[in-house]
Structure 1
Amino acid sequence: MGRISSSKEVEKELSPFLRVYKDGTIERLSGTPYVPPCLEDPKTGGASKDITIREDPLILARIHLPKLEPVNGQPEKLPILVYYHGGGFCIESAFSLVEHQYLTTLVAEAKILAVSVEYRLAPECPVPTIYDDCWEALQWVASHSVDGGAAAKEPWLADHGDFHRLFIGGDSAGANIAHNVLMRAGRDTILGGIKISGACLTHPYFWGSEPIGSEPKTDRDKGLGHVLWTFLYPTAKDGIDSPMMNPMATGAPSLAGLGCGRLLVSVAEKDRLRDRELKYCEAVKESGFKGEVEVVDVEGEEHAFHIVSFEKESAQVLIKRLAAFINKSC
C-alpha cells in the first residue's frame, strides 16, 4: 500500500481505516493485498475471473466457479451467490486476499457460482450510492435470465447459473449492504421476476443510539460502530438510527419486507455487535416475515474471524454451515 508524502496536511482521520487530506487525497491505512484471479486454483480446482458490470461509473466483480462436472454433456447448473465484501464501506475489495480466499473455499464447499461485487468505496462514493451499486449488480446478474437482458452476457453466468436458486450474502458492512438490498428486493422487482431464495448475513454491521444487551451504555458516540458511520455518512437522516444502519429503529420499515425466502445470520461470541445481531434475528421473526430464519452462533470467536482466518477449524465449520444453508431444498 503506497504511502502519501508527510508534507500533505491532514483534514481528518478515521483510524485504523483511512486518512483524508485537505487537497481531497484519501489514504487507506489498512486492508489486505489485492490478488489476481486464477483459472485453476491449486487447492480446489475452481476458477475465477474479473468482469465489468458497468463502465461509468465503474462497477466490477470477480466471478468464482467450482471445478465443474458436465452432466450428460450439458453445462452444470449451479446456485448463484451475489456477494458483498466487508471493510466498513471504505476498505477491502472483492479482489483482496482475504475475500478471495474465503470465497474460493466457500464456492468449492457449496459447489456454487459466486459473483463478488467490487462496489465503489466511501468516502469517495456516498454510502447510499454504494447500496445502489450493489442493487445494480444484482439486477445485472438477474438480467442473464432474460432473453436480450445483459447487452454482453457473461458466459459463466449464462451457462452455469441456476436463477431459481439465487442467493445474496455478505460479511460485516457487506452483510449490512445485503440487508439493505433485501429490503429493496421486497419493494422493487428484480429483472426476470427472479426471487431471492435466501440470504447469508455473517456478522452484519448494525448499530444504534440505544444500547442492546452488553453494549456500552455511555459514550456511545465514541465507539467505532458510531464513529465509522457518522464519519462516512454525516448527513444521514436520523444519524446512527438511520434504517440503513439500525433496521430496528423507531419508524424503520417492517422487517417483514425482507425480499427472500430464507435468512441465515451468523454471529460470534466475542463480537461487540453480537447482541444487536441476535436482536435483529428476533425482530425479523416477530415482524411477520414469512420465511425461515436460522442463527449460527460461534463460540470463542471475534468479528469476521471466518474471513481473516478462513483456514482455522471454526471458520471451516462455519463455511460448511453456509454451504448447507445454500444447498438446502427450498
Structure 2
Amino acid sequence: MARPNPLPEPVTTITCSASPSSIDPAPQIGLANIAQIAISSRRYTARPCRGRGRSTSGGSPDRGSAGNKRRKLRVGRVDSSLGERDDTMVTIHARSIDRPARRAMPRARSAAEAWSILRDEAASCRACDLWRPATQTVFGEGPLKADVIFVGEQPGDQEDIAGRPFVGPAGAMLDKALIEAGIERERTYVTNAVKHFKFAPRGKRRLHQKPNAGEIKACRWWLAQEIGTIRPKLAVALGATALQSLAGKATSITKLRGAVIPQGVRDVDPPTDLFVTVHPSYLLRLPDREARAREYQRFLEDLRKIAAHIGT
C-alpha cells in the first residue's frame, strides 16, 4: 500500500521514541483522541479512544461502534540518527485536536537533543490538573547513557521549588545509600512517575498527597520516553506509585521486592528489566530508630543487588 500523502498545514509535530505501544499519548502532544499508536515498519495506524469518534483530518466524526473505527494516521519518516545509542526516533505529524497547533518540533539528531525536546515539552504538559498548583514540571536528570534509572513517586516540596528531582531529604538518603552500595551516582538517572507536586496546603506548609491512577497514567508517556531515550540496563521502581507506572497496573511491592524481573517494563522499546524496592522517604517516615536502621539495611541489600546486575 502506498504511503499516505503528507498532512496539510497546520500540523503539530511530535518527536518521540518508537514505540509507545500501549501507553496513551496524552493530550499535551496534540493527539487527545488517539489511545494507541502502532508502529510497524513504515506503516502507522492509530486507534481512537472509545466514544469520541472525532476525525484527525478535521472532517466529520467517524461512524461505527462508539466511534472506535480504525483509521490511518499520517506520519513523517523514520529518523535513525541518534548517534552512539542508535535509538529510533519518529516524527509524527497530526492535527491539533483539543487546542491550537503549537510550534513544530524539529527531529532530534542525538539522544541529548531528543531528551532536551522532551523536557521542554513536558514543561507545558496539561494532561492532568496537577500543573495548576505546582510551581513547575520536574523532569528527570542524569547521564543519558545511565545504566540504571531510579523512578520515584513525584517531586516533593523542595523538588517543586528547585525544579530538580531527588534534591530533598529522600534524595539525600538515596545518595548516601548509593555510595554505601558501591553505585556511582554518575551511572544513574533519577526521575519520577508523576512530574508535578501534588499537595494539600496547610497554612504555610504543603503536605504531600499521593497521585491517583489517572494522574499516574497521564504521566506514563513521559516516563516511557525517558526510558526509551536512555535505554538503561535496569529500571528501579522506588515505591508503589513508581511500580504502578512502570508495570502498567497496581501491584504489591512485597511480592516483587528484591528480585530482577526480566523485561518487567514492557511498554518501552526495547523492554527493560525491572527491580522493585521501597522509596527512601519510607525510611524517613519510620518513627522507631531501630526499625529505621533495620529497613535501611534491607534497602542497602536491594541496592547491592542492583549494583551486581548492572556490573559495577
> Is TM (by shorter chain) over 0.5?
no
The TM-score normalised by the length of structure 1 is: 0.29
Q: Which has the larger radius of gyration?
A: 2
